[in-house]
């Protein structure tokens, strides 16, 4: 499991726009870099990031080798209801990870 650092408000007002930040430990090997032997190191990146809020997809991004190592992504969403917010990263070599946080909306 890759280490993840999420900034998600735990409690917020209904209808407010909240900013979510997600950081995950990953090399994001581009596939364009030679190793010490001069051979290209195979690509190993996260290529998609999805945020689901109460089960519904509220944000989705497609990443490329141009995203820095340990990808950082920030976006906003409207606090609609209390419930789980899940984050899924998927990538090369079967990389798949999901983290869930709970938002309480008042």
Partner 1 sequence: MKRIALALFACCSIASADERRSGLLDMRPEAQAMQRDDSMNPGMLWVLDGEALWGRKPTPAAQSCADCHGDAAASMRGVAARYPAFDQASGSAIDLAGRIIQCREAHQAGPPLARESKELLALSSFVAHQSRGLPIAPPEDTGMRAVRALGQRIYNTRMGQLDLSCAQCHDDHAGRRLAGSSIPQAHPTGYPIYRLEWQGVGSLQRRLRGCMVGVRAEPFAYGSSEFIAIEAYLMERARGMALETPAIRP
Partner 2 sequence: MTISRRVLLAAPGALLLPAPTRADQQKLAAALRDFTGGQPMREGRVRLDVSPLVENGNAVPISVMVETPMTAADHVRRIGVFNERNPQPIVITAQFGPRSGRAFLATHIRLATSQALVAVAEMNDGSFWSQRVEVIVTLAACIEG
- The residues of the shown chain that bind partner 1, judged by CB under 8 A, are 3-5, 7, 21, 23-25, 27-28, 68-70, 72
Rounded to an integer, what distance in angstroms lies between the CA atom of residue 74 and that of residue 13?
Answer: 20
Nearest CA to 27 among 75, 92, 87?
Answer: 92
Rounded to an integer, what distance in angstroms lies between the CA atom of residue 49 and that of residue 71?
Answer: 10
Nearest CA to 84 among 55, 44, 64?
Answer: 55
Residue 3 near which of partner 2, partner 1, none (CB within 5-8 Å, type-dependent): partner 1
Residue 7 near which of partner 1, partner 2, none (CB within 5-8 Å, type-dependent): partner 1
3-class DSSP assignment, residue 94:
helix
Q: Is 74 in the site for partner 2 (CB under 8 A)?
A: yes
**Bridge-partner residues for 101, per DSSP?**
85
Report, in Å, the least distance between residue 15 CB and partner 2: 9
Q: Which stretch binds partner 2 (CB under 8 A): 2-10, 12-20, 84-92, 95-103?
A: 12-20
Report, in Å, the least distance between residue 33 CB and partner 2: 10
């Amino acid at each position: 499991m890759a280490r993840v650092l999420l900034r998600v408000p735990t409690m917020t007002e209904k209808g407010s726009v909240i900013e979510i930040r997600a950081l995950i430990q990953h090399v994001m090997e581009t596939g364009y870099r030679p190793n010490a032997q001069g051979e290209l190191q195979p690509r190993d990146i996260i290529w998609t990031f999805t945020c689901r809020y109460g089960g519904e997809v509220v944000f989705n991004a497609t990443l490329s080798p141009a995203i820095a190592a340990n990808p950082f992504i920030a976006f906003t969403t409207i606090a609609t209801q209390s419930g789980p917010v899940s984050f899924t990263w998927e990538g090369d070599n079967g990389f798949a990870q999901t983290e869930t946080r709970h938002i309480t909306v008042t």
